[in-house]
Amino acid sequence: MATIALGSDHAGFELKQHLISRLSEAGHAIIDHGTDSTASVDYPAFCAAAARSVRDGAADVGIVIGGSGQGEQLAANKVRGARAALCNCLYTARMAREHNDANVLSIGARVVGLGLAEEIVDVFLSTPFEGGRHARRVAQLAELEEQF
């Protein structure tokens, strides 16, 4: 089982709580970086905290959730070493892992329904990185990160 760090804004709070319950029942360890309610908040700190947990080795993977997932992905990607992917369908979830070795999943709670969100998480967590030519590309991303 994996250790999963989660962060959300107010729009993603209810989906985050649902996923925490579901992932915990499946035996995963959870690090919840907030938010803790549906009261309006700014998302960057919550999402960056989830990505830092992955970078620092406290978590195996991160999940960030907002209304669209766009800003949450951007915030997570500001953390050196994070490879956050916005996945609002099963194909992008699989490709994010297989080809990009994404380590943070971003989901739009106002874009996908509960059942699809569960499936996206399942695909993201169960899909291994393919390596090969993709490893070279992921290494190039890390080099770019060092340059800027």
From the list 10, 28, 33, 72, the catalytic residue is: 72
> Looking at residues 107-116, what average pLDDT do you find?
98
How do residues 94-106 score in pLDDT, each as one tens digit?
Answer: 999 999 999 999 9
3-class secondary structure per residue, 85-118: EECCCHHHHHHHHHCCCCCEEEEECCCCCHHHHH
**CA pair distance 7, 34, nearest whole angstrom:** 5
18 classed as catalytic: no
99 classed as catalytic: yes
How do residues 15-69 score in pLDDT, each as one tens digit?
Answer: 999 999 999 999 999 999 999 999 999 999 999 999 999 999 999 999 999 999 9
From the list 33, 99, 119, 134, the catalytic residue is: 99
Taken in order of first residue, the domains within the chain and their CATH numbers are 3-147 (3.40.1400.10)
Is residue 148 scored above 90 in pLDDT? no
**CA pair distance 17, 131, nearest whole angstrom:** 33
